[in-house]
A and B are shown apart, each in its own frame.
Chain A
Amino acid sequence: MSDHHNTDDSGPAARVKALEALLTEKGLIDPGAIDAIVDTYETRVGPRNGARVVAKAWTDPAYRKRLIADATSAVAELGFAGPEGGHLVAVENTERVHNLVVCTLCSCYPWPVLGLPPVWYKSFAYRSRAVSDPRGVLEDFGLELPREVEVRVWDSSAEIRYLVIPQRPKGTARMSEDELAAIVTRDSMVGVAKVEAPRA
């Protein structure tokens, strides 16, 4: 351990601060715009967007077809586009097939519909096991699937990013699109959870 009071000089917070100051001085970045980006990704872009996409797919068969045919265009219809939003593919869970998404190399993830990925998605523990032991990973998330259900693992990359369309839970026939959107979780759209019907 060091005696210095200021031991963070080479720590990441200090490095980022120095970098921001340098780039600002060079006129390469605008600190105000940095604040706006942080705010956007902390509060505005997130899995609520994807939940709206899923709810619409559940309630509008024509939209569901468009989503499966060309997810990038279908989510843009709802106003969701932006960085990491291209090359989006929607994969649908059914009684027979369960889809699970990972990015084994780093952290590829469809930002416009899901926001930035959670910590576990970027972890070595998840990335290293999702392909080799998907059922084990799902059990870690508390999801045990019947043996006859096929688990398909999709490895996201710069070329393709995936959005899982979870199964619409039973007992939700009378719910509106907005009510359905409220029960769709981020985890269900990555494939590590199912969507649960609200308790009556």
Chain B
Amino acid sequence: MSTAALNQLIEAARLDPDHVFSAPWEARAFAIALQLSERGHFTWDEFRDRLIAEVGASDRIRARDGTSAPGEYYDHFLHALERLLQEKSIALF
């Protein structure tokens, strides 16, 4: 299962080994989350809990439907960040 999907990602990493972010907004989202945690607005553990929840929900859908859509990690990341900021009443969406 999923071998083709993984092979595609492995090949992409071979072509561009230093690739960390796929788009500038991913880098901004990461840096915003990291800076907010460094400034004490939340802990990285709190953020990670939301990220795990977002990733887990997506995993369950994929496991059930057998769908495969790689490369959406930072979508989960952004949802997790928005959710946490809302819960902490730092920003409302």
Contact = CB atoms under 8 A, between A and B. Distances in A.
Contacts of A30: 35
Interface of B: 1-3, 5-7, 9-10, 12-13, 17-32, 34-39, 41, 44-45, 48, 51-52, 55-56, 58-59, 62-63, 68, 70-71, 73-75, 78, 81-82, 85, 90-91
B73 A119 contact: yes
Contact of B78 (A15, A34, A119, A125): A15
A124 B71 CA distance: 9
Number of contact residues on A: which range applies?
A: 35 or more
Contacts of B29: 12, 16, 19
23 contacts: A13-B25, A17-B25, A19-B29, A26-B91, A34-B28, A37-B31, A38-B27, A38-B28, A38-B30, A38-B31, A84-B44, A105-B56, A106-B55, A118-B13, A118-B20, A119-B19, A123-B5, A123-B6, A123-B9, A124-B2, A125-B6, A129-B1, A158-B48
A16 B21 contact: no
Contact of A19 (B32, B45, B70): B32
A125 B9 contact: yes
A42 B28 CA distance: 11
Contacts of B22: 119
Contacts of B41: 28
A124 B20 contact: no
Given A12-B74, A128-B63, A140-B3, 17 more contacts: A13-B24, A23-B36, A23-B90, A28-B41, A28-B90, A29-B32, A37-B30, A105-B56, A107-B55, A118-B19, A118-B20, A119-B70, A124-B68, A124-B70, A125-B5, A128-B1, A140-B10
A16 B27 CA distance: 10
Nearest to B35: A29
A20 B32 contact: yes
B27 to A, nearest CB: 4
B90 to A, nearest CB: 7
Contacts of B51: 106-107
Nearest to A15: B78
Contact of A120 (B1, B10, B45, B85): B10
A37 B34 contact: yes
B45 A158 contact: yes
A136 interface: yes
Nearest to B22: A119
